[in-house]
Amino acid sequence: MTVQSGKKPSATATKTNRRKMTQPRNNKGAGLSQAQLLEMYHLLLKCRLVDERARVLFRQGKFKGNHYSAVGQEAVTVGTLYGCQPSDWVGPSHRDMVAALVKGVPVKLIMAQLYACVDSPDRGKSTPAHFGSPEHNIITPASTIAAQWQLVTGVALGLKMQKREGICFAYAGDGATSTGAWHEAVNFAGVHKLGIIYVIQNNLWAESVPLRLQTAAKNLADKAVGYGMPGVVVDGMDLLAVHKAAQEAVRRARAGQGPTLIECKTYRWYGHSEIDPARYRSQEEVAAWKKRDPIPLFEKQLAELGISAGSVKKQFEDEINREIEEAVAAAEASPYPDPAEAWDHIYAE
Amino acid sequence: MTVQSGKKPSATATKTNRRKMTQPRNNKGAGLSQAQLLEMYHLLLKCRLVDERARVLFRQGKFKGNHYSAVGQEAVTVGTLYGCQPSDWVGPSHRDMVAALVKGVPVKLIMAQLYACVDSPDRGKSTPAHFGSPEHNIITPASTIAAQWQLVTGVALGLKMQKREGICFAYAGDGATSTGAWHEAVNFAGVHKLGIIYVIQNNLWAESVPLRLQTAAKNLADKAVGYGMPGVVVDGMDLLAVHKAAQEAVRRARAGQGPTLIECKTYRWYGHSEIDPARYRSQEEVAAWKKRDPIPLFEKQLAELGISAGSVKKQFEDEINREIEEAVAAAEASPYPDPAEAWDHIYAE
Amino acid sequence: MGQPVTYIKAINQAMHEEFERDPSVFLLGEDIAEGGVFLATDGLREKFGAERVLDSPLAEAIIIGACTGASLVGMNPLAEIQFADFITPGVDQIMQNVAKLRYRSAGGFQPHLTIRVCCGGGVGGGLYHSQENAAWFMHEPGLKIVYPSTPYDAKGLLKACLRGKDCYLYFEHKKLYRSIKEELPEEDYIVPVGKAKVRREGRDLTILTYGYMVQISLAAAERMEKQGVSCEVVDLRTLLPLDKEAILASARKTSRVAVVHEDKRTMGIGAELAALVQEEAFEDLDAPVLRITGPDIPIMPFSPPLEDYFMLNPDKVVQGLEKLAAY
Amino acid sequence: MGQPVTYIKAINQAMHEEFERDPSVFLLGEDIAEGGVFLATDGLREKFGAERVLDSPLAEAIIIGACTGASLVGMNPLAEIQFADFITPGVDQIMQNVAKLRYRSAGGFQPHLTIRVCCGGGVGGGLYHSQENAAWFMHEPGLKIVYPSTPYDAKGLLKACLRGKDCYLYFEHKKLYRSIKEELPEEDYIVPVGKAKVRREGRDLTILTYGYMVQISLAAAERMEKQGVSCEVVDLRTLLPLDKEAILASARKTSRVAVVHEDKRTMGIGAELAALVQEEAFEDLDAPVLRITGPDIPIMPFSPPLEDYFMLNPDKVVQGLEKLAAY
Ligand SMILES: Cc1ncc(C[n+]2csc(CCOP(=O)(O)OP(=O)(O)O)c2C)c(N)n1
Ligand SMILES: Cc1ncc(C[n+]2csc(CCOP(=O)(O)OP(=O)(O)O)c2C)c(N)n1
Ligand SMILES: [Mg+2]
Ligand SMILES: [Mg+2]
């Protein structure tokens, strides 16, 4: 199962990335072929399963640091990034570990990251939540919220100046929108009409801080007008809706028409991190959002399009679980870096 | 000529601050009495004359540092601050030296500031552009743009927590809106519904940087929606228009209804500072704006209201110039601080 | 004396008591109303209400800016920076307003606030939950910096800050939160800002240290004792302004001085201490002031062996002290 | 050798030449396209176009963040911080991304950029146009800090940064901009990062200094010579990493060391230098390392007598050196 199968495969996309474009029976499928829809379904499941596995591993004490689960938010990740090209860049937030999967990163690399072993892209330097992969143009994020938002804005500037192929995807939560770093970056991209899609994962909470204490704005996407760019609010549980909104933003970005700010209303099922019991949220609130689980929701959409998810689910899950278990085994077997590596990579020369 | 003569004099306003409320002949006068309108006119002239005098003094080498002239922008200053109470606070920008006049500061203190002598409120510590007066609740601003915007937001928070009388006025330019500090402050005030009026002096330029390189927003006031507060665009050359917009914001603030963001479209006649020849602006642009000089514009408005500015202008100017010359003489005569004062006021204890 | 309490409980108690004592105290920070990651602020909102215990937007500059402003109209603000790593967006306010407003207004405006900063490594927190960066702020007269090493001091220093009139950075090391307990006096007390404390008397050499490293240094001193080297451990407690008298007295007494800190070496706090001691006690020194510190690498890496490599421990400190004693 | 040029002209030339040489060089900063307050960037936009000479919004963090990001895709960014005083809003990016991205990605991402920072006092600029704050950044391995004192070095060091692969802070002292001239080679040259230079040979004592203070120190050395004291003046040129070899060689040669810097004393660069010298050359020292620095007050005040009080001058340096020589 590969992932860079956007509608317009770029020069760098491999042949195997291209799939037959069988249109589903009606136009609800956001112009996606059946194969693409199933690929998205596969990715949705993969994000879920890898994340849930990471939660278990953390609770088993298999890795240190922390885990920031994105379970519940998968439709945002898959919907925005699906179809992106190898030449595109991602500036992930602390909750975006699984975004790497959509960009084609093998589970093995992510597990290596959790285990902080030599096989991780950063050889154990960064924490699990701050996965990056140079090979996949996923920037290793700093923990300071919205710092990566600035960096990836800079990448978009560089790509534009170099007239190089590729656009950027920036991710951050509702809390991040309050930071000065966030504001400066979005404003800058507006001025320079950069090819970047800003995705706000509005999950209503920043740790224990509710949205109403974060900002008095009605919608976070309302902020876009202050930067002279389109702002879009989308149901972050609806994979196809997210994807449609994202594709319009992607089209604009690739056409040099500038950035878009997309607010996805979503929810994290679990605490801010695995050590947060999240008692500040009511059980009703959590239950209501869990009812809107993006996976069954997408299964229903697939059914409406005449595609039976049930017939592939087990196969997909098995495939994914096999990759996960192999990845865990590899990470378990991989050694920690040598302490002397602490001195590597301080300077280039 | 006093200045705290708002329509609702506070308990702290002195008797002499109250004036007879003679309504002008039609309602174009923004509900102001003839005496109040003339007082505003007096302040407008005063801001102009003090600023022009400062320019001359700087060019004569009478003081160091720099001067950031606000000539052209007086209607914003007078229009927003006129009627404010002694208990109200001001967070001025680097261009707001003359705002102090509207808050009732004698010219003497301002000249002392320019001369950096012991009679200045900060005994020569701060630069001319960063005039503050604790006695008048004018915060001595830092030079880092929008830093005072944060401070005065904090004052508004404190006033609210203490249930103390008083609201806040924050000033900054178009350039300042790009800073993270600006964003964080406005957003914070929105959440806490603080009693603060944010005034953007949009003079189209930040040093030599034109507005289109500052932000892609159509209007800077558009940013308000992103903070859940009203945003108002007003002709910053029209004193009465500014005052009306400000009074509505003041009403909201005093009633506990929260902050307002007011964008005043205005123009600085001269360079960014006295050392800036401002060649980056076209002569046509400058000429067009000079035609909209707020002083004759207000004189016309007065005339329409049946008030003859001409009959008082000379008297006002003489009065003001006398105060200025006395102030300059006093500043000239006042000594510099003793070098040992460099060690004062580092700590409270 | 009551029950033994942890360092974090002592901090929590200090806040509870000062909120009680002074109605103008309020707390502003991220994720604090529910008690916070470490439960430092536990119970405050329940007891004193959401008007005095404010969850702020995710924006460190305005946390500090708003507190500073509020202090000008009679509030007594306590700001929390959740992790020291995240103080950088607030550095502008700290450097340009907090540290300078009193000065540049010639005392016309008198800002005062306390900023609690949770810092330090050794808990597997990785790059951005381990920074120990008080050094950045020691270059700023106008600020005072305190850094307790025990529950007693944690409580007493926090109370001193909340009763003082200056602008305080209060660093608390997360590794200490639950690792040590101490019985605290029942009655009200403060620990004065600006005073170091000799934690262990010694004759042969002096260790200047603070925070979590006090524990490590005491353990190292214990081991040196067995080798016949008597170490004096001076807990600085206040980093700015330094208690020069106490520092120099001990340096003159033992003639050999080591500085122990967790943070990286170059321009760490040890630089100032070494410069000061050699400047003022040159004739008394039998050896150069030795810096035993974290390595000069950008940030504490995450992987356990890398973290271990970064962190000081009694072994590493003993190694340094042996060299110093043998000089 | 061509015409004598000023320090600022040398900076301007370096930029022109490197823009010419490397099409991936671009400049991002406030108020730079028109040439800037001091005309440092004069002529660049006219010659290389607005696509490579970008006036940024008023936002230091994104100036640095955008440059860092752009460097990841092959650009060679030159950022300008108009006044060192205004670097604080960008400190977050500098500390957390610029200095650490290479490290925390284990070299997977290779940021590189040059940040020009106009600093220093003595020009009547007052509190926020006089700060000299390189010290804040010396605690950050991952950064390199250069600080030229002559037109030759200004040009050569800027070129070295623009050809290097690391992240450079390039401090330029505004007092030097037009106060000294020097003939520069016609041919292309660089001054290597990391190498100090002896500006004046001497036998009796060493002055470690940099930037504008090199001029002041040379003047002071001149006067000491007349008193029969021969001073060696070492211009550090690079502050991070320090050229330890050159520093220690001179210290060992003269046995008496003074550090001269304009910035305030506590945790100023002199702290690290004093710590280093006593650490490595203790046995060679005949006197403690002396710090001759600005006073520990929050910021350079504006009023002329206060500014004079803050700024070092040859008189004050001579006073210090006399004490050191007499020790
Ligand atoms: C500058 C900064 N301040 C504080 C933190 C601590 N912190 C980590 S995540 C977080 C909340 C983030 O909320 P949001 O942006 O809504 O993202 P979410 O976690 O909900 O996905 C905070 C405060 C940080 N990482 N960086
Ligand atoms: C943080 C910061 N960066 C840069 C500067 C230098 N600077 C002083 S005024 C100014 C332009 C301000 O423009 P604007 O906000 O539009 O106000 P105006 O001068 O037009 O009134 C700049 C960049 C500063 N004072 N603070
Ligand atoms: Mg959130
Ligand atoms: Mg402007």
**What is the spatial distance between Cα D257 and Cα D207, in angstroms, rounded to a whole number?**
6
List the single residue in C with minimal CA-CA distance to B132: C105
Nearest to D79 by CA among D100, D54, D101, D104: D54
Task: Collect all residues with Cβ–Cβ distance below 8 Å to D53 and sequence separation of at least 6.
Answer: D26, D27, D32, D33, D41, D44, D45
Phi-psi category of residue C301: left, alpha or beta, with phi > 0 → left and psi -120 to 50 → alpha: beta
- CB-CB under 8 Å, A143 with C88: no
Count of CB atoms situated within 10 Å of the CB of C49: 11
Examine the pLDDT at B6 and tell me if it is beyond 80. Answer: no
Q: Which of A42, A115, A268, A270 is catalytic?
A: A268
Strands C167-173 and C113-119: parallel
pLDDT digits (tens, 9 = 90+) for A111-138: 999 999 999 999 999 999 999 999 999 9
**Domain range for A158:** 30-336
Catalytic residue among D129, D139, D173, D261: D129
Shortest-distance Cα residue to atom 13 of ligand 1: A206
Task: Give C223's contacts (C-beta < 8 A, 6+ positions apart).
Answer: C314, C318
Domain assignment of residue B253, yes or no: yes
Contact B249, B277 (CB under 8 A): no
Measured CA to CA, the distance from residue C238 to residue C248 in angstroms comes to: 15
Residue A18 has pLDDT above 80, yes or no: no
| Residue B12 confidence (pLDDT) | 33
Lookup: tokens for C261 = 């800190």
pLDDT band of residue B13 (cuts 50, 70, 90) is: very low
Of the options 3.40.50.970, 3.30.200.20, 1.10.10.60, 3.90.1300.10, the CATH number for the domain spanning D4-183: 3.40.50.970
To test the contact with chain C by mutation, choose from D63, D81, D86, D96 the residue with the greatest count of C C-beta atoms within 10 A, namely D96
CB C278 within 8 A of CB C308: no
pLDDT band, very low/low/confident/very high, at B24 (cuts 50, 70, 90):
low
State the pLDDT at residue A14. Answer: 34
pLDDT bin (cut points 50, 70, 90) of residue D87 is very high
Chain-chain contact of C295 with A207 (C-beta, under 8 angstroms)? no
pLDDT score for C1 = 62
C264 part of contact set with chain D, CB < 8 Å: yes
Q: Which of B67, B130, B268, B270 is catalytic?
A: B268
Distance from CA of D92 to the nearest CA of B (A): 12
Predicted local confidence at residue D176, as pLDDT: 98
CA distance D225 to D207: 13
At C15 the three-state DSSP class reads helix
| Under 8 Å between Cβ of B298 and B235 | no
Residues A125, D106 contacting (CB under 8 angstroms): yes
Q: Is 50 exceeded by the pLDDT of residue D100?
A: yes
**In angstroms, rounded to a whole number, what is the distance separating the alpha carbons of residues C220 and C315?**
7
The pLDDT tens digits of the residues spanning C77-99 come to 999 999 999 999 999 999 999 99
Active site residue B280: yes
Q: Give the pLDDT confidence score for residue A83 in this predicted structure.
A: 96
Look at residue A4 and tell me if it is in a domain.
no
In a domain, A150, yes or no: yes
CA of B68, closest atom in ligand 2: 19
Question: Would you state the pLDDT for residue B21?
Answer: 41
Per-residue tokens: B44: 């407008």
Interchain proximity D31–B209, CB inside 8 Å: yes
Topology given in CATH for the domain delimited by D197-326: Rossmann fold (3.40.50)
Our CA dihedral for A146, A147, A149, A155, rounded to 10 degrees, sits at 180
Distances (CA, A) of A140 to A94, A181, C29, D69, D104: 10, 17, 27, 12, 8
Query: The tokens 């910021």 sit on which residue?
Result: D299
Asked if residue B250 is part of any domain, the answer here is: yes
Residue D223 neighbours by CB distance under 10 Å: 16
Is the four-CA dihedral D148, D153, D159, D161 of positive or negative sign?
A: negative
In this predicted structure, the answer to whether residue B81 has a pLDDT above a threshold of 70 is yes
Question: Residue A296 contacts by C-beta under 8 Å, 6 or more apart in sequence?
Answer: none
Q: Please give the Cα distance from B89 to B196 (Å, whole number).
A: 9
| Whether C252 contacts chain D with CB within 8 A | no
CB contacts < 8 A (B, D): 113
Compute how many other C-beta atoms are within 10 angstroms of the C-beta atom of residue D136. 25
Question: Which H or E run contains B214?
Answer: helix B211-214
In a domain, B263, yes or no: yes
Closest ligand 1 atom to Cα of A172? 15
Determine, yes or no, domain membership for A267: yes
What residues in C contact B164, CB-CB < 8 Å? Answer: 73-74
Angle, CA of B40, B41 and B47, to the nearest 5°: 85
A235-250: b (≥16 Cβ within 10 Å) or e? bbbbbbbbbbbbbebb
C123 Cβ contact list (under 8 Å, min separation 6): C129, C130, C174, C175
Instruction: Answer whether D73 sits within 8 Å of A132, measured CB to CB.
Output: no
Distances B335 to A77, B122, B331, C76, D300 between C-alpha atoms, Å? 67, 14, 8, 37, 19
Distance of CA A299 to the CA centre of its chain: 20
Q: What is the pLDDT of residues D237-285, one digit of tens each?
A: 999 999 999 999 999 999 999 999 999 999 999 999 999 999 999 999 9
Using a CB-CB distance cutoff of 8 angstroms, which residues of chain B are in contact with residue D41? none
Q: How far is A213 from chain B (nearest CA, A)?
A: 6
| Alpha carbon of B320 to ligand 4 centroid (Å) | 28
Name the 3-class secondary structure at A205. Answer: strand
Neighbours of chain B (3+ CB pairs under 8 A): A, C, D
In order of A147, C288, D113, D142, the CA distances from A348 in angstroms are 22, 33, 12, 9
Q: Which residues contact A108 (CB under 8 A, 6 or more apart)?
A: A119, A323, A326, A327, A330, A331
How many domains does chain B divide into?
A: 1
Please tell me the pTM assigned to this model.
0.96
List phi, psi (to 5°) of B60: -80, 0
What length is written for chain A?
349
Q: What is the ipTM of this complex?
A: 0.96
Q: Is B174 in the pocket of ligand 2 (CB under 6 A)?
A: yes
Atom 19 of ligand 2, residue of closest alpha carbon: B206
Higher per-residue pLDDT: D314 or B5: D314
Residues with CB under 6 A from ligand 1: A 94-95, 143-145, 172-176, 201, 203, 205-207, 272; C 30-31, 58, 60, 82, 86, 89
CA of C107 from ligand 4 middle (Å) equals 30
pLDDT tens-digit readout, B164-175:
999 999 999 999
Decide which of C100 and A29 is more confident: C100
pLDDT of amino acid D3? 84
- Length reported for chain D: 327
Lowest mean pLDDT of A19-28, B5-14, B68-77, name the range.
Answer: B5-14
Q: Where exactly are the structural domains of chain D? A: 4-183, 197-326
Distance CA A194, CA D215 (A): 46
Q: Is the pLDDT of residue A5 over 50?
A: no
* CB-defined contacts A:D, below 8 A: 148
d(CA A142, CA A298): 33
Residues in chain B: 349
Residue pointed to by tokens 């640095």: D64
- C-alpha to C-alpha distance for D75 and D69, rounded to whole angstroms: 9
Q: Is the peptide bond before C298 cis (omega within 30 degrees of 0)?
A: no
Q: What is the CATH number of the domain that holds A202?
A: 3.40.50.970
Interface test with C, best of A126, A200, A203, A274 (most C CBs within 10 A): A126
Q: Do C299 and D275 touch (CB under 8 A)?
A: no
pLDDT score at A26: 54
Which of B150, B191, B344 is the closest to C57 by Cβ? B191
Confidence (pLDDT) at B4 = 38
Is it the case that residue D139 has pLDDT exceeding 80? yes
pLDDT (tens digit per residue) in B32-80: 999 999 999 999 999 999 999 999 999 999 999 999 999 999 999 999 9
pLDDT band at A20 (very low <50, low <70, confident <90, very high): very low
State percent of chain B over pLDDT 70. Answer: 92
Helix (H) or strand (E) holding D118: strand D113-119
Residue C179, both tokens:
């690792």
Alpha-carbon gap, residue C207 to C317, rounded angstroms: 10
Q: What is the mean pLDDT of residues D207-226?
A: 98
CA-to-CA dists, residue C247 to B267, C265, C318, D288, D292, angstroms: 58, 19, 21, 17, 21
A61 three-class SS? coil
Residue whose Cα lies nearest atom 12 of ligand 2: it is B206
| A10 pLDDT tier (thresholds 50, 70, 90) | very low
pLDDT tens track for C306-316: 999 999 999 99
Q: How far apart are CA C268 and CA C246, in angstroms?
A: 20
pLDDT tens string A165-195: 999 999 999 999 999 999 999 999 999 999 9
Taking the CA of residue C301 and the nearest CA in chain D, the distance in Å comes to 7
pLDDT of B30: 77
Report pLDDT digits (tens) over B290-335.
999 999 999 999 999 999 999 999 999 999 999 999 999 999 999 9
3-class secondary-structure state, position A216: coil
List, in sequence order, every residue forming a beta bridge with C81; answer none if it has no partner. C117
Is D81's pLDDT higher than 80? Answer: yes
**What mean pLDDT do residues D290-308 have?**
97
Distance of CA C96 to the CA centre of its chain: 21
| pLDDT at residue B348 in the model | 98
Task: Please compute the mean of the pLDDT values over residues A214-238 and round it to a whole number.
Answer: 98
Which chain B residue has its CA at the smallest distance from D308's CA? B339
Q: How far apart are CA B214 and CA B217, in angstroms?
A: 9
Q: Do C4-183 and C197-326 share a fold?
A: yes
Ligand 2 geometric centre to CA of D56 (Å): 12
Residue D257 β-bridge partners: D206
pLDDT at B14 over 70: no
Query: Could you tell me if residue A223 is inside a domain?
Result: yes
- Listed in sequence order, the residues at least 6 apart from A266 whose beta carbon sits closer than 8 Å to its beta carbon are A72, A73, A75, A76, A201, A202, A203, A236, A237
Q: How far is CA B159 from CA B8, B252, C25, C63, C165, in A?
A: 19, 15, 14, 16, 19
Look at residue B68 in the predicted model and tell me its pLDDT.
98
H-type alpha helices, chain D: 7-21, 44-48, 60-71, 91-92, 101-104, 151-163, 212-226, 244-254, 269-281, 304-310, 314-326
Q: How much is the average pLDDT of C163-187?
A: 97
Q: Is C51 on the interface with A (CB under 8 A)?
A: no
Distance CA B160, CA B255 (A): 11
* SS3 at position A111: helix
At residue C311, φ and ψ (nearest 5 deg) are -75, 140
Does the pLDDT at position A275 exceed 90? Answer: yes
